[in-house]
Amino acid sequence: MTQPKIGIIIGSTREGRFGDKPAAWIHSVASRRDDLQFELVDLRDYPMPFFAEPMSPAWGPVKNESAKAWAAKLSGLDGFIIVTPEYNHGPSAVLKNSLDYAYAEFVRKPVAFVGYGGVGAARAIEQLRLVAAELQMVSVRNAVHVGMVEFLGIWKQGKSFDDYPHLGQAAAGLLDELAWWARTLKGARAGAA
């Protein structure tokens, strides 16, 4: 089996976003592993309008060109790390919109979460787990929560992720679980084809 390929999705597109920092960090930590491949997937590269397709992508192909490119990108991936902000105790609208724009490309693949904000985006992540269940994804228990102290330290006080070793420990747990599920589900998908 070829190594599972994991997409690290940056869940914010706003000007001046913080999301680049945790995305680059988890990408660099993850890339030290030799059992998975990783690539950054930036929602800015897939500028999809608010969902207005005639039907759910669960029932038929999408028409929007960016959404077609998004689906093509997702179909080549075996799992996901979603790097998410928290907006009003939920995920960003652009991230939820991107999840609504595909279906089969998510099914029977694992997803893990890296969140940042006041409570490490815990509330947004728990909402995203419910969305993931409907998309038939396996949501990995271990998450990384970059909480207020670390968030402000990295954003405003010149600190780095390495100044907070518990984040590295959380990332290791997340990646171990993600690797198991990515291998297991990739093999199972291949066997079922």
Ligand X SMILES: Cc1cc2nc3c(=O)[nH]c(=O)nc-3n(C[C@H](O)[C@H](O)[C@H](O)COP(=O)(O)O)c2cc1C
Query: Binding residues for ligand X, per CB under 6 A?
Result: 12, 14, 17-19, 85-89, 117-118
Looking at beta carbons only, is 12 or 98 nearer to ligand X? 12
Q: How far is the CB of 148 from ligand X (least distance, A)?
A: 7
19 versus 110: smaller Cβ distance to ligand X: 19
Contact (CB, 8 A) for 158 and 54 = no
d(CA 126, CA 183): 24
What are the backbone dihedrals phi and psi of residue 10, each rounded to the nearest 5 degrees, phi first?
-85, 115
Residue 15: HSE in the Cβ half-sphere, 13 Å Cα cutoff = 0
**Residue nearest to ligand X as judged by C-beta position:** 117
Query: 39 — phi, psi (to 5°)?
Result: -145, 145
Taking the least distance from each CB to ligand X, the nearer of 57 and 85 is 85
Comparison of 7 and 85: residue with beta carbon closer to ligand X: 85
In whole angstroms, the minimum distance from the beta carbon of 107 to ligand X comes to 28
In single-letter form, the type of residue at position 146 comes to V
Nearest to residue 23, comparing CAs of 37, 36, 11, 6?
A: 11
Report DSSP state, residue 107: T
Minimum CB separation from ligand X for residue 95, in Å? 10
Q: Could you give the CA distance from residue 91 to residue 39 in angstroms, rounded to a whole number?
A: 21
Minimum distance, C-beta of residue 13 to ligand X, in the bound complex (Å): 8
The minimum distance between CB 155 and ligand X, in angstroms, equals: 7
Residue 57 vs 147, nearer CB to ligand X: 147
Token representation of residue 118 = 């006041």
